[in-house]
């Protein structure tokens, strides 16, 4: 098979993956989207269908059971799912964060043991960093890991654990020692793969959230939980932060899916709604809103695509993913706001999915790093880059 024929075949398979995802969303997810939001229910009943479609391993190596497709294809899958259930797309985003870290920083034994069941969806992962006093401040963690004989003993609590109630394993970030006992003023992380069966591990009740309610979010308590040295992920702080980069890329894709759904709803409403026998789409005020929404959406898609390309090329895409997430956050908030505005009182009703989109969109400025903190990272990077240019 020629190189051109191979790429054409891959493109055809990726197009089929997108088509299958859209069909799954329309036939299986859309009919229950409102109910799972109201019931704060993660639709585990759909997991088997998702496994058969390969949705748990879209962009991961075939040697571990993945499809080996482009990252942009995986992000399109996230966007399509988010159009009906942002919470279910969030499940995949966080699941992939754990896979990313194991794939890049895990030992060969960890890859052999964990990647295939995770990528095929036989096991679900959670990625646990946030704590009561350490959300975006990943350096302020209080959960500790202490070496005792041949085991590590973990103590502390994690908050806002996405996938908590459905996870089979948790990638948990700790401090190797309490900060007060460390010689260095800058703490270092340790990452552990912790099974839900681990003695001393307790998952709390589901949290009752404003949006993304089809995503299972809990707290996690570790009380003298013991972990084998074989389940330590090397890389420390670099590995912990690397997981967040992929998460921000996924969040941007999720936000675009929500924005597209709200935008399409607004366009349809504007064309159908009549005042004095004329569609409101003929009004300049409505046309201006639609134009602004479209421009924002196209710009955000371009930023996401730029991030995907850098990741596919094996380049550092941390800043690009951060820029995309912040930009999409602004885009989806604006589009959801204007969609409700165009629909007036109809958009404010809970029977209208735009109301749900508006609640789901709010997480974009909070999850996997607040926009304020990410802007600090972006600004610091740009200023240092400018300083280096001056020094030359």
For residue 116, what is the domain's CATH number? 1.10.540.10
**Of all residues in the chain, what percent are helix, strand and coil, respectively (each to 5)?**
60, 15, 25
C-alpha separations of 46 from 27, 30, 92 in Å: 11, 12, 13
Does residue 46 sit in the same domain as residue 149? no
Nearest Cα to Cα of residue 258 among 302, 226, 211: 211
For the whole prediction, is pTM greater than 0.75? yes
Q: Are residues 141 and 115 in the same domain?
A: no
Task: Assess whether 282 and 316 both reside in one domain.
Answer: yes
Alpha carbons 172 and 225: distance in angstroms, whole number = 12
Q: Is residue 285 located within the same domain as residue 258?
A: yes
Domain end position, chosen among 206, 236, 266: 236
Q: Are 141 and 157 in contact (CB under 8 A)?
A: no
DSSP label at residue 113? I
Q: Which domain CATH number covers 220?
A: 2.40.110.10
Range of the domain at 172: 126-236
Domain termination residue (choose one: 236, 256, 275): 236
CATH number at residue 290: 1.20.140.10
Q: Which of 92, 123, 154 is the last residue of a domain?
A: 123
Number of domains the chain is built from:
3
Clarify whether residues 215 and 256 are in a common domain: no
> How confident is the prediction along the chain (392 residues), in pLDDT tens digits per residue?
555 554 555 688 999 999 999 999 999 999 999 999 999 999 999 999 999 999 999 999 999 999 999 999 999 999 999 999 999 999 999 999 999 999 999 999 999 999 999 999 999 999 999 988 876 666 678 899 998 988 999 999 999 999 999 999 999 999 876 444 445 555 678 999 999 999 999 999 999 999 999 999 999 999 999 999 999 999 988 999 999 999 999 999 999 999 999 999 999 999 999 999 999 999 999 999 999 999 999 999 999 999 999 999 999 999 999 999 999 999 999 999 999 999 999 999 999 999 999 999 999 999 999 999 999 999 999 999 887 777 76
Give the bridge partners for 223, in sequence order.
155
Token duo for residue 54: 């390969």
């Amino acid at each position: 098979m020629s190189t051109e024929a191979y790429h054409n075949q891959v493109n055809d398979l990726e197009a089929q993956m997108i088509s299958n995802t859209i069909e799954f969303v329309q036939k299986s997810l859309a009919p229950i989207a409102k109910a799972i939001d109201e019931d704060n229910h993660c639709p585990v009943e759909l997991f088997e269908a998702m496994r058969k479609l390969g949705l748990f391993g879209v962009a991961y190596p075939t040697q571990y059971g993945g499809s080996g497709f482009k990252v942009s294809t995986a992000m399109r899958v996230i966007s399509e799912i988010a159009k009906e259930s942002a919470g279910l797309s969030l499940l995949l985003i966080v699941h992939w964060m754990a896979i990313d870290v194991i794939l890049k920083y895990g030992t060969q034994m960890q890859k052999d043991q964990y990647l295939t069941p995770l990528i095929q969806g036989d096991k679900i992962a959670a990625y646990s960093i946030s704590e009561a006093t350490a959300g975006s401040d990943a350096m302020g963690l209080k959960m500790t890991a202490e070496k005792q004989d041949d085991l590590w003993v973990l103590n502390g609590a994690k908050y806002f654990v996405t996938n908590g109630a459905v996870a089979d394993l948790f990638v948990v970030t700790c401090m190797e020692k309490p900060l007060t006992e460390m010689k260095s003023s800058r703490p270092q992380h340790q990452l552990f793969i912790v099974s839900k069966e681990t003695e001393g591990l307790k998952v709390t009740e589901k949290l009752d959230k404003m949006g993304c309610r089809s995503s299972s979010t809990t707290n996690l308590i570790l009380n003298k939980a013991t972990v084998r040295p074989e389940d330590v992920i090397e890389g420390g702080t670099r590995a912990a932060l690397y997981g967040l980069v992929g998460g921000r890329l996924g969040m941007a894709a999720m936000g675009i899916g929500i924005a597209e759904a709200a935008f399409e709803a607004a366009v349809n409403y504007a064309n159908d709604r009549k005042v004095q026998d004329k569609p409101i789409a003929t009004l300049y005020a409505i046309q201006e809103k639609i134009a602004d929404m479209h421009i924002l959406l196209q710009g955000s898609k371009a930023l996401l695509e730029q991030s995907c390309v850098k990741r596919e090329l094996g380049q550092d895409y941390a800043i690009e993913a951060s820029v995309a997430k912040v930009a999409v956050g602004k885009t989806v908030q604006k589009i959801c706001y204007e969609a409700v505005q165009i629909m007036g009182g109809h958009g404010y009703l809970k029977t209208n999915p735009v109301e749900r989109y508006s609640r789901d969109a709010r997480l974009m400025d909070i999850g996997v790093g607040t926009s304020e903190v990410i802007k600090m990272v972006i600004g610091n990077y740009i200023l240092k880059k400018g300083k280096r240019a001056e020094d030359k």
